[in-house]
Structure 1
């Protein structure tokens, strides 16, 4: 199975940039890799990759600018024609670690806007393209090469795993993203669209910090393996980057 088209949000650095690199390194890379980021002029590494690879297209997208989502859909429709979009990879996110003493309405709302509302509304906007891809596929079972929404979550959003408290904005936003993803998995399955969430691990990125345990290469390599091999029983579930299930 191979993924023909993928849209990656937050592709200018960290995990998003590594996703672009590793999708390109697949034995059969996607024909279309739409790499979106908020500021394309500053995405020097991503732009350099796009110059060397004609199947990579850098797209300006601020996930907080919901009004721009329709223009993005129209742009994708022009590039994809009647084939639709196989994979939406909602990777963009922010992290506020506020303790109980520090937490504010502003940090809570911004984490929810970026980590929950934006992935949901982007999925809603691009649903026609995902439905098209699913309907035109020769595959009958769910898979990411047919049509899928994969949301990058965090184990910090797991109720079962929370033994240390704190990080109110980030934890609660990822828990909410998990619930959004679970509902999407139910609503989209009848249309042949697979939905699940992946925890990337504690990764050495700007967000993960210098004490993190694994490299972006290890994290994304594992996640792509999960994505490429995902099937019906992945639908509506929560996975670690190495493919192990995580309790909600």
Structure 2
């Protein structure tokens, strides 16, 4: 399979790229500047030469998404799965009276508009029906749930709630073509974003997500918001 991953320079994105390569897949690892990839991604490129391509993608830029799609198309490089993983967590300690609207806008640019633009330009590259994957995964969060709403993290929670709705809408559009769209809660992981107190390793989350992409974990057709093991998440 050819699997494209945004935000592949660290954390869950890097682990997804690593495990995809270990499983024998081709990985398109997207970072802001492909000419100077983070050390972990460069090590993967050295170890899996010819199996990985590192691409530049600033997810807030539609022009970047368009150019990435053009480069892949020019190389006749088709996709089997897309993982919109890039995300930010801003304004954590801000209550409504002190909330920075710049943080809100920046968060929506990355967490919602980025996946939307990636989907717009990259979905046409999915080779429908040839691999059995035909999947787009938006990395979401339990914070994007009405039932779990709490008084804080406004930018992050609202952007993930909107991302869940986009995932549901996009799945309704694309299921006629056999393309599955899921919003996935990756769990609270020990990453730069999640912190070292988190109970879950990024390796475990990545393993579960790739199992869904490969079809080892089957997600019922009526679900669109699940966790990394394919279990239903509350809306």
Whether these two folds match at TM > 0.5 is: yes
In structure 2, how many angstroms separate the alpha carbons of the residues matched to 1:235 and 1:129?
A: 25
Q: State the match for 1:115 in structure 2.
A: 111
Of 157, 164, 183, the residue aligned with 1:178 is 164
Of 15, 18, 42, the residue aligned with 1:18 is 15
Structure 2: state its 5+ residue gaps.
none
Q: State the match for 2:43 in structure 1.
A: 48
In structure 2, how many angstroms separate the alpha carbons of the residues matched to 1:55 and 1:235?
A: 34
In structure 2, how many angstroms separate the alpha carbons of the residues matched to 1:80 and 1:8?
A: 18
Shift of 1:56: 0.7
In structure 1, how many angstroms separate the alpha carbons of the residues matched to 2:159 and 2:106?
A: 9
Residues 1:152 and 2:147 are matched in the alignment: no
Q: State the match for 1:70 in structure 2.
A: 66
8 A contact 2:219–2:230 mirrored in 1: no
Shift of 1:197: 1.1
Shift of 1:234: 4.4
Q: What does 1:28-107 correspond to in 2, within 5 Å? A: 29-30=24-25, 32-40=26-34, 41-53=36-48, 54-81=50-77, 84-96=78-90, 97=92, 98-107=94-103
What is the TM-score with the length of structure 1 in the denominator?
0.87
Which stretches of structure 1, 4 residues or more, deviate above 6 A after TM superposition? none
Q: What's the RMSD between the two structures over aligned residues?
A: 1.7
8 A contact 2:174–2:180 mirrored in 1: yes
In structure 2, how many angstroms separate the alpha carbons of the residues matched to 1:71 and 1:113?
A: 18
Shift of 1:93: 0.4
The structure-2 alpha-carbon separation of the partners of 1:237 and 1:204, relative to structure 1 and needing over 3 Å to count, comes to same
Q: What does 1:220-235 correspond to in 2, within 5 Å? A: 220-229=206-215, 231=218, 233-234=220-221
The structure-2 alpha-carbon separation of the partners of 1:102 and 1:228, relative to structure 1 and needing over 3 Å to count, comes to farther
What is the TM-score with the length of structure 2 in the denominator?
0.92
In structure 2, how many angstroms separate the alpha carbons of the residues matched to 1:39 and 1:236?
A: 35
The structure-2 alpha-carbon separation of the partners of 1:89 and 1:95, relative to structure 1 and needing over 3 Å to count, comes to same
CA offset digits 1:109-167 (Å, max 9, x no partner) = 1111100011011101112212xx115x2x7xxx5x2x1111000001111122x3211
Q: How many residues align?
A: 230
In structure 2, how many angstroms separate the alpha carbons of the residues matched to 1:64 and 1:43?
A: 19
In structure 2, how many angstroms separate the alpha carbons of the residues matched to 1:213 and 1:178?
A: 24
In structure 2, how many angstroms separate the alpha carbons of the residues matched to 1:235 and 1:95?
A: 29
Structure 1: state its 5+ residue gaps.
none
